[in-house]
Amino acid sequence: MAQLRFRFILLLACIGLIPAMGCEKHDQVARYIAEKPPAMELRKPANHPPIDPHQTDPHQTDPTQPAPPAGEPKDRMLAAIVPLGDQGWFFKLTGPKDAVAAQGDTFKTLIQSIRFSPEGKPQWKLPEGWKELPGNDIRFATLLIPGEGKSLELTVTVLPNSGQDDQKYILMNVNRWRGQLGLPEIAPEQLAGELTQIALENTTASVVNLLGTAGPGGMGRGPFQSGGRNGN
């Protein structure tokens, strides 16, 4: 830019538009123009990536990129819901994911062995090495599973099922269990894909195998009753 201005002034001098200026004056003007820095110079910021003109905030995450992976799941739940008349029976085993996964086949065998007495009480064949503890005001029974370190517990509970829609009853409890493991709820049309059905003598057990991470105290709430919930 300075060179262009210098040549322009020289051109004016040559054609006589500035006749009053002598050669010395010409040299001073030329030297001033050549040495004077430009009034304003646009510079590119150093070490900054180019800004996407379609992105209003350059610090925003690109929505087209996949989200960062979630934390590794730590817990597993094997659970079965067995509606029987106006009651719902719940068999639930929760704990560290690998320890519970190791009991998968035994859990299935236990559920397959369930039979109900004429009074509606469940009976089962206790797996080898397991220990059955008597029930209390909340649990019908607790089954202890030995293992390295802390033993696992399988809880057996019962609650009224006064509703006429067993699928809705099952869905409410599956979604509650999913919430305990930090998983989103599922819609009614997704329920079948979450369940493994085990035919029993006079009913059906709906089994879920859920993998997630339990929040503090997240496993302690009891099953939903039809129209309400109960503590466990």
Task: Name the band, by pLDDT with cuts 50, 70 and 90, for residue 55.
Answer: very low
Residue 66 domain flag: no
28 & 110 share domain: no
Tell whether 111 and 187 lie within a shared domain: yes
User: Per this entry, what is the length of the chain?
Assistant: 232
Looking at the structure, do residues 98 and 24 belong to the same domain, yes or no? no
What residue numbers bound the domain in which 28 lies? 2-35
Look at the block and give the residue holding tokens 């900054």. 48
Residues 111 and 179 in one domain: yes
pLDDT computed for residue 221 by the predictor = 46
The residue that leads in pLDDT, 127 or 34, is 127
The confidence score (pLDDT) of residue 75 equals 97
What are the backbone dihedrals phi and psi of residue 138, each rounded to the nearest 5 degrees, phi first?
Answer: -105, -45
137 and 22 both lie in a single domain: no
pLDDT (tens digit, 9 = 90+) per residue, 71-92? 799 999 999 999 998 999 999 9
**206 falls within a domain:** yes
Angle at 98 between CA 133 and CA 67, to 5 degrees: 130
Total domain count for the chain? 2
- Between 12 and 166, residue with greater pLDDT: 166
